Chains A and B, each alone.
Chain A
Amino acid sequence: MSAVAGRALPRRFDARHLPLLGTMAVFLLTAGYGSIAYPGFFSAQVFLNLLIDNAFLCIVGVGMTFVIISGGIDLSVGSVIALTTMVSAALVEHHHWSAVQAIPLVLAIGTAFGALMGWLIWRFRLQPFIVTLAGMFLARGLCYLISIDSISITDAGYTAIAQARLPLWGESASVTVGAVLALATVAAGIFLAHGTSFGRTVYAMGGSEASALLMGLPVARTTVLVYTLSGFCAALAGVVFTFYMQSGYGLHATGLELDAIAAVVIGGTLLSGGVGYVAGTLFGVLILGIVQTLISFDGGLSSWWTRIVIGALLFAFCLLQRLFEKR
Chain B
Amino acid sequence: MTVSPLGRRVLAHHLLWPAVTLALLLAVNAVFNPGFWHLQWRDGHLYGSLIDILNRASPLALVALGMTLVIATRGIDISVGAVVAISAATAALLIGGELVVKDGVQSHVSRVPMAVAIVAALAVAALCGLWNGLLVARVGMQPIIATLILMVGGRGIAQLLTGGQIITVYYAPFFYLGNGFLLGLPFAVFIAGAVWGVLHLLMTRTALGLFIQAIGINPAAARLAGLPQRLITVAVYVFCGLCAGAAGLVVSSNVKSADGNNAGMLMELDAILAVTLGGTLLSGGRFSLAGSVLGALIIQTLTSMIYSIGVAPEVNMVVKAVVVFVVMLLQSAEFRRAARGWVWRGATA
Contacts and interface: CB of A to CB of B under 8 A. Distances in A.
Given A137-B269, A258-B151, A308-B156, A318 B318 contact: no
Contacts of A136: 269, 321
Contacts of B156: 304-308, 310-311
Contact of B318 (A129, A130, A145): A145
B241 to A, nearest CB: 16
A306 B164 CA distance: 13
Chain A interface mostly: helix
B149 A318 contact: yes
Contacts of A307: 152-153, 155-156, 159
Contacts of B235: none
B320 A137 contact: yes
B149 A140 contact: no
A89 B325 CA distance: 28
A277 B141 CA distance: 20
Contacts of B321: 134-138, 141
Interface in A293-316: 302-308, 310-312, 314-315
Given A124-B334, A130-B324, A310-B153, A138 B317 contact: yes
B104 to A, nearest CB: 42
Nearest to A135: B321
A145 B315 contact: yes
Contacts of B318: 137-138, 141-142, 144-145
Contacts of B57: none
Contacts, number: 128
Nearest to B261: A304
A140 B324 CA distance: 14
Interface residues of B, number: 48
A187 interface: no
Interface residues of A, number: 44
Given A144-B315, A304-B160, A137 B324 contact: yes
A322 B140 contact: yes
B145 interface: yes
Given A129-B144, A322-B140, A141 B314 contact: yes
A317 B113 CA distance: 41
A312 B157 CA distance: 11
B30 interface: no
A308 B157 contact: yes
Interface in B297-348: 312, 314-322, 324-325, 328-329, 332-335, 338
A307 B260 CA distance: 13
A250 B273 CA distance: 21
B139 interface: yes
Contacts of A311: 149-150, 152-154, 156
A25 B328 CA distance: 43
30 contacts: A120-B329, A124-B329, A124-B332, A125-B333, A126-B328, A126-B329, A129-B282, A134-B324, A138-B317, A138-B325, A141-B319, A141-B321, A144-B318, A145-B315, A145-B318, A302-B159, A303-B164, A304-B164, A308-B156, A311-B150, A311-B152, A311-B153, A312-B153, A315-B153, A318-B135, A318-B139, A318-B145, A318-B146, A318-B149, A322-B140
Nearest first, the 7 closest Cβ-Cβ pairs linking A and B are A311-B153, A307-B156, A141-B317, A141-B318, A138-B321, A304-B159, A144-B314
Given A120-B325, A148-B314, 14 more contacts: A120-B329, A126-B332, A127-B282, A130-B282, A141-B317, A141-B321, A144-B315, A145-B318, A302-B160, A303-B164, A307-B153, A311-B150, A314-B149, A315-B149
